[in-house]
């Protein structure tokens, strides 16, 4: 733990956040950040935030990869393509039920945090890896910064919703992608608890702008015009009846346009369990792709169908309408503006929504989720908590 002297507070900071505001102090303590990553969306977010952190003197970032996504196309390829700092720790924890997965991660992360003694633990999104990192940190009385805070689907049957609520409740710095997310946290009383809420904007917007010029075609052959689809949520693929409904909806959609679907490993496993003929399907399943290939698929698609939270926003950033095959979304602004249509899993509803949108001109006049400098805001806010040497 550090002690500080001759230091004042920045506006909006609580007494626990020290900032470099006193010009009479010339010597400063360096800062160590442990970043917890485990899944594809977190790698994308970290790519821009880690770069922004690297632009601040005195900050050392230690990356921990839990292994929640372990397939090369779901994990290592992202580190290579997006130049994310190589993980200092590879935990290799995956393929377990939620409770066992979170517990095993907490045990290993706790050991690392005790060894590294960071000033901050940085977590992203809504995964089990994020929750494990936040819980391990707080039990060691370490400060937690949560990127993508304040999102709510209001469906606590989703593991992701529980992860969001619990992490937001124990985080010290809450970086919100939208004003709606920031207002959610204010309404939950997080300011009264001493946390700091920062409307940073969405780091995925930063990533889309930064990497769009580098997009590249995947190895798989693509139709001239197609719909891009992904689905992997537990509530969709772990329920055989729901999975069959979605597959039927996609087969019906293939009669309108080809459906290209990068196949998540967990989804493949569930499809094999119900005996679905993947190789003979009219749906064009391809191997999972890296972020640069996903941007290409998005850019050249006519429409997006998904149950992914991240892809809903990526579709918006690439000016594509989205059909969300869930009953709710945490990205309420997209649905409110008509860019995203949350339709559930009933096949005919899905098909009709696709038919209604497939030829609608891509008019996206409203700018959501900040100005594309979210990573800089996050890095600058964290860097401002470096205190002078006692």
Q: What is the mean pLDDT of residues 302-306?
A: 98
Residues in the chain: 390
Catalytic residue among 69, 94, 232, 266: 232
Q: In what order do the strands lie in the sheet with 31-37?
A: 89-90, 59-65, 31-37, 120-124, 143-147, 173-176, 196-199
Break the chain into its structural domains and give their ranges.
31-202+371-383, 213-357
Residue 230 burial (CB < 10 Å; 0-12/13-18/19+)? buried
Residue 26 is predicted with a pLDDT of 36
Residue 212 is predicted with a pLDDT of 93
**Distance (Å) of CA 155 to CA 31, 161, 176:** 37, 7, 20
Side-chain half-sphere exposure of 366, counting CA atoms within 13 A: 9
Helices 203-211 and 309-317 pack at an angle, to 10 degrees, of 50
Closest C-alpha to 294, from 264, 312, 322, 314: 314
Q: What predicted TM-score, i.e. pTM, was given to this entire model?
A: 0.85
Percent of the chain with pLDDT over 90: 77
Given a cut of 90, whether residue 386 has pLDDT beyond it is no
What is the average pLDDT value for the chain, to the nearest integer?
Answer: 88
Q: What is the mean pLDDT of residues 326-340?
A: 94
Given a cut of 70, whether residue 10 has pLDDT beyond it is no
Residue 78 is predicted with a pLDDT of 64
Helices 203-211 and 291-300 pack at an angle, to 10 degrees, of 80
Side-chain half-sphere exposure of 370, counting CA atoms within 13 A: 26
Which pLDDT tens digit goes with each residue over 55-84? 999 999 999 999 876 655 555 666 677 777
Least confident of 22-26, 154-158, 206-210: 22-26
> Annotated catalytic, 232?
yes
Does 121 or 15 have the greater pLDDT score? 121
State which of 11-15, 20-24, 342-346, 363-367 shows the largest mean pLDDT: 342-346
The DSSP line for 203-225 is HHHHHHHHHGGG----SS---SS
Residue 70 is predicted with a pLDDT of 60
Q: What's the CA gap between 66 and 289, in Å, rounded? A: 20
CATH number of 31-202+371-383: 3.40.50.2000
Alpha-carbon torsion 130, 134, 135, 136, what sign? positive
Q: What's the CA gap between 170 and 145, in Å, rounded? A: 9
Which pLDDT tens digit goes with each residue over 174-194? 999 999 999 999 999 999 899
Q: What's the CA gap between 176 and 200, in Å, rounded? A: 6
Q: What's the CA gap between 288 and 73, in Å, rounded? A: 6
Helices 347-357 and 240-253 pack at an angle, to 10 degrees, of 30
Least confident of 26-35, 104-113, 154-163, 300-309: 26-35
Cβ atoms of 200 and 176 closer than 8 Å: yes
Residue 13 is predicted with a pLDDT of 31
Q: What's the CA gap between 341 and 346, in Å, rounded? A: 13
| 365 CB-near residues (< 8 Å, 6+ apart) | none
The CATH homologous superfamily for domain 213-357 is: Glycogen Phosphorylase B; (3.40.50.2000)
Q: Spell out where the chain has E strands.
A: 31-37, 59-65, 89-90, 120-124, 143-147, 173-176, 196-199, 227-230, 259-262, 284-286, 303-306, 322-324, 340-342
Query: b or e along 100-119 (b: 16 or more beta carbons within 10 Å of the residue's beta carbon)?
Result: ebbebbbebbbebbeebebb
Percent of the chain with pLDDT over 70: 89
Residue 69 is predicted with a pLDDT of 61
* Domain 31-202+371-383 shares a fold with domain 213-357: yes
Does 78 or 257 have the greater pLDDT score? 257
């Amino acid at each position: 733990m550090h002690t500080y002297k001759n230091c004042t507070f920045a506006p909006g900071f609580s007494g626990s956040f020290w900032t470099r505001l006193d010009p009479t102090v010339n010597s400063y303590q360096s800062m160590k950040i442990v970043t917890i990553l485990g899944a594809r969306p977190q790698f994308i977010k970290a790519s821009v935030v880690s770069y922004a952190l690297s632009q601040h003197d005195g900050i050392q970032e230690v990356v921990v990869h839990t292994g929640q996504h372990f397939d090369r196309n779901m994990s290592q390829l992202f580190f290579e393509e997006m130049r994310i700092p190589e993980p200092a720790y590879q935990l290799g924890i995956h393929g377990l039920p939620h409770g066992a997965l979170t517990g095993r991660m907490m045990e290993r992360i706790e050991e690392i945090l005790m060894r590294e003694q960071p000033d901050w633990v940085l977590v992203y999104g809504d995964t089990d890896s994020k929750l494990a990192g936040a819980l391990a940190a707080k039990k060691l009385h370490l400060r937690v910064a949560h990127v993508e805070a304040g999102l709510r689907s209001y469906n606590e049957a989703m593991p992701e919703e529980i992860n969001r609520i619990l992490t937001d409740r124990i985080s010290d710095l809450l970086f919100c992608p939208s004003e709606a997310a920031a207002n959610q946290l204010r309404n939950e009383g997080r300011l009264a608890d001493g946390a700091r809420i920062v409307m940073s904007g969405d780091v995925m917007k930063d990533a889309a702008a930064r990497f769009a010029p580098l997009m590249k075609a995947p190895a798989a052959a693509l139709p001239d015009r197609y719909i891009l689809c992904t689905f992997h949520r537990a509530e969709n693929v772990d329920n055989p009846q729901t999975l069959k409904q979605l597959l039927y909806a996609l087969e019906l959609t293939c009669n309108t346009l080809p459906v290209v679907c990068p196949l998540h490993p967990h989804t493949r496993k569930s499809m094999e369990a119900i005996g679905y003929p993947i190789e003979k399907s009219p749906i064009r399943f391809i191997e999972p792709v890296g972020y640069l290939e996903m941007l290409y698929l998005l850019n050249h698609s006519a429409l997006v169908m998904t149950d992914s939270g991240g892809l809903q926003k990526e579709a918006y950033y690439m000016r594509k309408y989205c059909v969300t095959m869930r009953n709710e979304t945490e990205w309420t602004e997209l649905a409110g503006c008509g860019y995203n249509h949350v339709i559930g899993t009933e096949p005919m509803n899905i098909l009709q929504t696709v038919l209604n949108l497939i030829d609608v001109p891509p008019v996206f006049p409203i700018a959501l989720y900040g100005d594309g400098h979210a990573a800089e805001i996050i890095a600058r806010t964290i860097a401002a908590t470096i205190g002078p040497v006692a």
